[in-house]
């Protein structure tokens, strides 16, 4: 393997999708979005064959182009994904790389008056668009979604909301159990916001005016602003934090809106949808900085509680923090590829 | 100042108090307790004078004898306390050092079937014992309580529960806003307990069998075990954790019992008691590892909300973590000494 | 700015250069190397004009393709570089992105029997290749080199060794003062190597057999292996560590070979070369994890000592660690662009 | 075990020793020093018996009184030492707790014009004083010295310098291999001194004027100031740092004076003295913040190199950092007690 580039056995089609739903979204983000569709090695050689599809989404502050980023001694996921098909380790799949970036760094793949209808965009626009242009097996049993971190969150909730669209999922260190993943961040945010009189929009203005992430609190504040836009915006789009930015006290009704989006707490409400999934991959590093290993454990326990059979679930904690776990993606992809109906 | 010892201007009386209430306590801790009573420089020279009293309590894992610990370039609090009186910086007070240690490292100064009636011991046994033996001004307006960390917590809640006993307080980095102070510890505990099948009593057995604090999680698990014994024990003394030790999920009714002891959440319930205080000192380091600066800010805001006049409150955040803030104690003592009725 | 891509005002030419010198290099790395040459906005419109050239090199584990990596709220350097020319902030330059990757993650831009003649490749092959194909001003006064970390090191030493080629430089957190930058890493390496019986090649074998950087010591051991290959290899290419991997004791003659490559210690030996430079930019973050701010300060002081006039030097420490300082590159580029002869 | 106090089986005699050598020492420290001498359980019952003696010294910033400090779930060393004799685990010894505090926090147990003749004080005044007053076996084969950190350093060098006095030693995480233990501290010091124009005495003045250790760099700067006073003071007592406080560059001749005191580098010079020792205990935590586990390994390897027989050496690395390892002291004491001649 040379570090600079690689030839793939399959083909990566870099396209643009024009969304109707995202038109006029509240943050002024483009409604024309990049999308990459990967077709496996034998795709053109077997013109009569239809293929399962795995949708891949990014984590917070991730956007589509970052899938092409290269680093030392590692290949980007599109190449490691290609490799599992090229080697025969996994039966061929179409892999769809979806962009749901917003000006705040992400959409959490939900519909929100604070950011836009990114959930609907994904299930009602992207999926049909792909099915119309590529030879997919257009049914939930042959359609999976996977991601890491906020992408893992999206991979958990999307099939819960729309089991008629997705029938399998993989979550790597997906956001869950918000008291551990988010609450400590609120306390940090209170500290960082002391320099901004407790006004996160004064921070946002500052952030946009200087090199990004050059101040210590930038990462924390950005994700909180973004999640508040996704989870607790007013109907008119006004973003509301789930805590008092000066005293740190939780604002119960807003915090409850966040908790309503906690995958662990959603399990019982969406039990049927989860029981309809063919394959659920859950993993996380045992030293995850957001305790997402604990969240993964609770989500796994929830599946047992509602009666998801053990043979449909892969659960694994491994020795790692939150970063540097991209080598897990092709493992989950392989596992899914074997379980999707074809 | 020499590092080895110091002569004090006042006198420290090291005594033992026999408690009736602590007899037969659930952890088998002694009911005979050490107690130190400091009398100020002019105490013997002015036999007709009565003095205000400041009660001083320890933080978690602190016990009475530790007040005598020496270190480099610092004097123990009994000496720095003596110094403010000797120098005339503060008018003389009696200072009472109370022990409320338990086998789990602390009592949180509450009455609990898990540890014993340490709150009642303090207000109903120690205070009368002191008043009977020393020339105190035996009234709440002349009686304060102060402490750091769990001791700061005790200093906040004791006057709330018993404004008929205490009329002033000082809390240094006192436990408050439990979602920030405790919740992240629960997630860490889940990790540490993986090696003990989620059973904190298996850890406890292990802890008692080897050098204390030689395993990474010891500090975290000890304080959680102790606080669970204080806050969420069953009536028969059985200790219950406020979270599932395997999945991390909060157990709502137990967690609520903890929250009922959150000073920030107690403010409204004990508004009259707080409004009756003559002097309330609140401080914390801006980098406190348990976010107790945020808790302090919320507690302070609560006082404003219920109408405690500003001139009775000293609030200060200073650049520090949780440790090494003992130099604040004599500052608060001086401030209190000037405000207690005499 | 959209996060996914950008149009540039100038042009980036992605080419391949065939090296004679790198043929048969000891690590079996390719002798055909990618190279990018950027020509500024007016390059084609002014066919009679020749331009200064700034050579840009990567830090350790950096390879050419990584310049294209995208991230949130930031543009890659080729785009921010383009922007300073497009906006008129800086007069146009040719910018040459050079690859000197090796199997060990880097070459330190030196000639070594352990890795290959990367210094000679850069000055004797890349520079003439560029001058032959692009309208450069082919003289040291119009040629600069810049980089960060190991790239900053390369930017310091290359003009010292070859002032006949380079007449200006910019170093961002460049390796210097090896007792602080490297020595602590040796101690860490001793610990990490305990699991490999002190044999770094057993670690290397392990590293190549599993996901890269999935073990804690990977980053430390990789850079030490690589630097040993660059600085203290035997004439036959055998790599020798500058310390005993079991006891940590320095091996004086090997450690001296490293110190001979310490830019701070090279200043006096290469005083004439340094005095010949038109422009020297030095910066580093005050919290640099390798203490390269201290190294930068010592290098700066060395320039004063040997009589480099102050007006040729830009020195700046800024509040940052080692990472996330790419926003400094266009600032240095602008500064150099104004000082190169044209 | 109760946390507040303990009864000992033996007796601890708290005395004062008047030193002639320390009179007029350069830092104005007292020449009257506290000293504690412990006599084992059967000492008075067997008036005709003489006992081996183990001298115990403190680490940096440690002074005699700190041996009495109490903490949670642990007993002070004088009590755990007593316990090994009381239980019969070890044959009885006299244990001598020596104070060598200075205004800079320590003396490193050397003779220096910067602090005073603390080495001579220990071997030429304290030892004879003890032998004159207590029934010791007054010979090196029956005399050991032990300590942790700087105390471990003292325990290594004192028998090297004076094998006629000490015939056994125990070092817990003793200072060694100064390139790892000290050099990184120099880089930190450069940063901390930026606020003091590079003048450590301006920091010292500041340190003495405010709560000790309330600024981040206090610990680092104090130990460097103190060690410079011990290792690289001028003959007239002027303290010289071994590095340029602005650029960080080592000052070779001064740094060499420090290295001359590196136990690892002293091994060959003092080979005879080391070969004369009956028992050498060496341990350290594998995560020691000053890499003293690496230093311990190198010191151990040095003993092998000079031919110290393996059966006289106990070497152990254990999972720990630098702090919280006091539970090791009674283990080493027991081991020494069995090996001292009686």
- Does any CB of chain B come closer than 8 Å to the CB of residue A291? yes
Residues 6+ away with beta carbon under 8 Å from C242: C186, C228, C231, C232, C250, C251, C254, C255, C257, C258
Mean pLDDT across chain A: 97
- Does any CB of chain D come closer than 8 Å to the CB of residue C76? no
How far apart are the CA of B78 and the nearest CA of chain D, in angstroms? Answer: 14
- Percent residues over pLDDT 70 in chain C: 100
Average pLDDT over residues D238-265: 98
* Chains contacting chain D through 3 or more C-beta pairs under 8 A: B, C
The residue written with tokens 């010294």 in the block is D57
- Percent residues over pLDDT 90 in chain C: 98
- Does any CB of chain C come closer than 8 Å to the CB of residue A69? yes
Q: How many CB atoms lie within 10 A of CB A300?
A: 24
Cα–Cα distance for residue pair B109/B57, rounded to 1 Å: 9
How far apart are the CA of D241 and the nearest CA of chain C, in angstroms? Answer: 16
Strand partners, D71: D74
CB contact under 8 A, D291 and C187: yes
Q: Quick one: closest CA in C to D184, which residue?
A: C180
Cα–Cα distance for residue pair C42/B38, rounded to 1 Å: 84
Question: Which of C249, C263, C282, C317 to mutate to test binding with chain D, by most D CBs within 10 Å of its CB?
Answer: C249
Question: Quick one: how far is CA C43 from the chain centroid?
Answer: 27
CB contact under 8 A, A214 and C2: no
Instruction: Please count the CA atoms within 13 angstroms of the CA of D96 that sit on its side-chain side.
Output: 26
Cα–Cα distance for residue pair B322/C9, rounded to 1 Å: 53
Q: What six digits make up the tokens of C16?
A: 């391949």
* Chains contacting chain C through 3 or more C-beta pairs under 8 A: A, D
Write b or e for each residue in D310-341: b if 16 or more Cβ atoms lie within 10 A of its Cβ, otherwise e: eebebbebeebebebbbbbbbbbbbbbbebbe
DSSP string, B104-151: TS--TTSEETTTEEHHHIIIIIIHHHHHHHS-B--SGGGEEEEEETHH
Average pLDDT over residues C130-143: 98
pLDDT band at A4 (very low <50, low <70, confident <90, very high): confident
Are 3 or more Cβ–Cβ pairs between C and D shorter than 8 Å?
yes
Cα–Cα distance for residue pair D199/C211, rounded to 1 Å: 48
For the four alpha carbons of C73, C78, C80 and C83, in that order, the dihedral sign comes to negative
For the four alpha carbons of A293, A298, A300 and A301, in that order, the dihedral sign comes to positive
CB contact under 8 A, D68 and B72: no
Inform me whether the pLDDT recorded for D1 exceeds 70.
no
Q: Measured between CB atoms, which of C186, C187, C291 is closest to D187?
A: C291
Strand partners, B180: none
CB contact under 8 A, B72 and D63: yes
CB contact under 8 A, A214 and C3: no
Name the helix (H) or strand (E) containing C32.
Answer: strand C32-39
Give the per-residue pLDDT at B5. 77
pLDDT band at C26 (very low <50, low <70, confident <90, very high): very high
The residue written with tokens 């507690």 in the block is B299
Question: Which of C178, C189, C191 to mutate to test binding with chain D, by most D CBs within 10 Å of its CB?
Answer: C191
Q: Residues A213, A195: contact at Cβ < 8 Å?
A: no
Question: Which of B192, B197, B297 to mutate to test binding with chain A, by most A CBs within 10 Å of its CB?
Answer: B297
For the four alpha carbons of A241, A245, A250 and A251, in that order, the dihedral sign comes to negative
Q: Could you report the per-residue pLDDT of B176-223, keeping only the tens digit for each? A: 999 999 999 999 999 999 999 999 999 999 999 999 999 999 999 999
- Does any CB of chain D come closer than 8 Å to the CB of residue C110? no
How far apart are the CA of A74 and the nearest CA of chain C, in angstroms? Answer: 7
Q: How many CB pairs under 8 A join B and D?
A: 79
Give the predicted TM-score (pTM) of the model: 0.97
- Does any CB of chain A come closer than 8 Å to the CB of residue C2? yes
Q: Could you report the per-residue pLDDT of C316-334, keeping only the tens digit for each? A: 999 999 999 999 999 999 9
Q: Residues C191, D294: contact at Cβ < 8 Å?
A: yes
How far apart are the CA of B126 and the nearest CA of chain D, in angstroms? Answer: 18
Cα–Cα distance for residue pair D311/D304, rounded to 1 Å: 11
Stretch 118-137 of chain A: residues touching chain C, C-beta under 8 Å: none
Inform me whether the pLDDT recorded for C335 exceeds 80.
yes
Residues 6+ away with beta carbon under 8 Å from C66: A69, A70, A71, C58
Q: Quick one: closest CA in A to B186, which residue?
A: A180
Q: Could you report the per-residue pLDDT of A118-128, keeping only the tens digit for each? A: 999 999 999 99
| Contact residues, chain A, for C68 at CB < 8 Å | 68-70
Residue among B77, B108, B51 at smallest CA distance from B328? B77
CB contact under 8 A, A66 and C66: no
Give the per-residue pLDDT at C6. 80
Cα–Cα distance for residue pair A137/C154, rounded to 1 Å: 53
- Does any CB of chain D come closer than 8 Å to the CB of residue B61? yes
Inform me whether the pLDDT recorded for A37 exceeds 80.
yes
Question: End-to-end CA distance of chain C, in Å?
Answer: 32
Inform me whether the pLDDT recorded for D105 exceeds 60.
yes
Q: What is this model's ipTM? A: 0.96
CB contact under 8 A, B247 and A183: no
Q: Quick one: closest CA in D to B321, which residue?
A: D214
| Contact residues, chain B, for D25 at CB < 8 Å | none
Inform me whether the pLDDT recorded for C138 exceeds 80.
yes
pLDDT band at A69 (very low <50, low <70, confident <90, very high): very high
- Does any CB of chain D come closer than 8 Å to the CB of residue C113? no
CB contact under 8 A, A65 and C327: no
Residue among D102, D112, D109 at smallest CA distance from D228? D112
Cα–Cα distance for residue pair A74/C63, rounded to 1 Å: 12
CB contact under 8 A, B294 and A264: no
| Contact residues, chain B, for D98 at CB < 8 Å | none
Residues 6+ away with beta carbon under 8 Å from C315: C282, C283, C296, C300
CB contact under 8 A, D180 and C183: yes
Q: Could you report the per-residue pLDDT of A197-228, keeping only the tens digit for each? A: 999 999 999 999 999 999 999 999 999 999 99
Q: Measured between CB atoms, which of B187, B246, B294 is closest to A248?
A: B294
- Does any CB of chain A come closer than 8 Å to the CB of residue C320? yes
Question: Which of A6, A65, A212, A216 to mutate to test binding with chain C, by most C CBs within 10 Å of its CB?
Answer: A65
B48 class by beta-carbon count within 10 Å (0-12 exposed, 13-18 middle, 19+ buried): exposed
Q: Tell me the three state secondary structure of residue C111.
A: strand
Q: Quick one: closest CA in A to C285, which residue?
A: A214
| Contact residues, chain B, for D68 at CB < 8 Å | 68-70
CB contact under 8 A, B179 and A179: yes
The beta-strand segments (E) located in D216-292 are 279-285
Question: Which of A185, A248, A293 to mutate to test binding with chain B, by most B CBs within 10 Å of its CB?
Answer: A248
Q: Residues C274, C267: contact at Cβ < 8 Å?
A: yes
Give the per-residue pLDDT at D3. 81
How far apart are the CA of B250 and the nearest CA of chain A, in angstroms? Answer: 9
Residue among B66, B339, B331, B341 at smallest CA distance from B172? B331
Residue D269 φ then ψ, to 5° = -65, -30
Are 3 or more Cβ–Cβ pairs between D and A shorter than 8 Å?
no
Q: Tell me the three state secondary structure of residue B279.
A: strand
* Chains contacting chain A through 3 or more C-beta pairs under 8 A: B, C
- The 3-class SS string of D68-135 reads HCCECCECCHHHHHHHHHHCCCCCCCEEEEECCCCCCCCCCCCEECCCEEHHHHHHHHHHHHHHHHCC
pLDDT band at C13 (very low <50, low <70, confident <90, very high): very high
Are 3 or more Cβ–Cβ pairs between B and A shorter than 8 Å?
yes
- What angle do helix axes B200-209 and B218-231 make, rounded to 10 degrees? 120
Q: Could you report the per-residue pLDDT of C52-102, keeping only the tens digit for each? A: 999 999 999 999 999 999 999 999 999 999 999 999 999 999 999 999 999
Average pLDDT over residues C29-43: 97
Q: Could you report the per-residue pLDDT of C242-285, keeping only the tens digit for each? A: 999 999 999 999 999 999 999 999 999 999 999 999 999 999 99
- The ranges of chain B with pLDDT < 50 are none
Q: What six digits make up the tokens of C257?
A: 């070979």
Q: Tell me the three state secondary structure of residue B269.
A: coil
Give the per-residue pLDDT at B1. 54
Name the helix (H) or strand (E) containing B336.
Answer: helix B329-339
Cα–Cα distance for residue pair C147/A253, rounded to 1 Å: 51
Q: What six digits make up the tokens of D91?
A: 């044959």
| Contact residues, chain B, for A265 at CB < 8 Å | none
Cα–Cα distance for residue pair D25/D125, rounded to 1 Å: 15
Q: Could you report the per-residue pLDDT of B77-91, keeping only the tens digit for each? A: 999 999 999 999 999
């Amino acid at each position: 393997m040379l570090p600079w580039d690689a030839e793939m056995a399959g083909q990566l089609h870099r396209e643009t999708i024009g969304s109707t739903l995202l038109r006029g979204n509240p943050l002024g983000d483009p409604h024309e979005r990049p999308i990459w569709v990967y077709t496996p090695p034998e795709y053109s050689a077997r013109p009569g064959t239809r293929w399962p599809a795995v949708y891949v989404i990014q984590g917070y502050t991730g956007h589509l182009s970052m899938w092409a980023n290269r680093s030392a001694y590692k290949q980007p996921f599109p190449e490691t994904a290609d490799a599992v098909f090229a080697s025969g380790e996994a039966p061929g799949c179409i892999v769809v790389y979806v962009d749901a970036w917003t000006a705040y760094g992400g959409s959490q793949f939900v519909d929100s008056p604070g950011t836009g209808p990114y959930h609907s965009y994904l299930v009602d626009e992207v999926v049909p668009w792909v099915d119309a242009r590529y030879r997919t097996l257009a049914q939930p049993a042959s359609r999976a979604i996977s991601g890491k971190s906020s992408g893992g969150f999206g991979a958990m909730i999307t099939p819960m909301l729309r089991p008629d669209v997705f029938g399998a999922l993989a979550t790597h260190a997906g956001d869950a159990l918000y008291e551990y993943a988010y609450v400590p961040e609120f306390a940090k945010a209170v500290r960082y916001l002391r320099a901004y009189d407790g006004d996160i929009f004064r921070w946002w203005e500052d952030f946009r005016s200087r090199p990004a992430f050059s101040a210590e609190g930038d990462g924390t504040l950005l994700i909180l602003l973004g999640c508040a836009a996704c989870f607790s915006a007013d109907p008119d789009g006004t973003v509301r934090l789930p805590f008092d930015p000066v005293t740190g006290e939780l604002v119960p009704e807003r915090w409850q809106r966040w908790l309503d989006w906690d995958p662990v707490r959603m399990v019982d409400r969406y039990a049927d949808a989860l029981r309809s999934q063919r394959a659920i991959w859950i993993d996380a590093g045992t030293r995850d900085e957001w305790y997402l290993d604990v969240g993964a454990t609770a989500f796994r326990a929830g599946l047992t509680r509602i009666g998801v059979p053990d043979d449909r679930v892969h659960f694994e904690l491994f020795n790692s923090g939150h970063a540097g776990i991209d080598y897990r993606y092709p493992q989950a992809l392989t596992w899914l590829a074997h379980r999707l109906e074809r």
